[in-house]
Amino acid sequence: MLDLETRIRGLKRPSLLARAARFGADEYRREIHLRRILGVEKLPRHAEAIMRLLDIENEMNNHRLDHAGEYRVARHVDVLIAIAGEVQLMRATRLRLL
């Protein structure tokens, strides 16, 4: 199984999706967005949240590649924004601990 950093670095998506996620990451609010995407009351720690989001995103990307009818680009961007936001928050937390 790949570690978290390897999975994050390995995430390659079309430039339009990646740019939309980068723009949206500044507006990311985990209490609102993460709760909605994961459908949870209690928010997980950053690393766990990222792992769950990466699993959701991988499934969505497979739907995108398969041209599946259930694929929704707006939801895919939402998940990518959440991944970018959680990574930023996790890295910021690590820096504060040093």
Residue 10 in contact with residue 2, Cβ under 8 Å? yes
pTM for the complete prediction? 0.89
Q: For residue 91, what pLDDT is reported?
A: 87
Which residue type does 30 have? R
The DSSP 8-state label assigned to residue 41 in this structure reads S
Residues in the chain: 98
Walking along the chain (98 residues) 10 residues at a time, the average pLDDT comes out as 79 92 92 96 95 96 96 97 94 74
Which residue type does 54 have? L
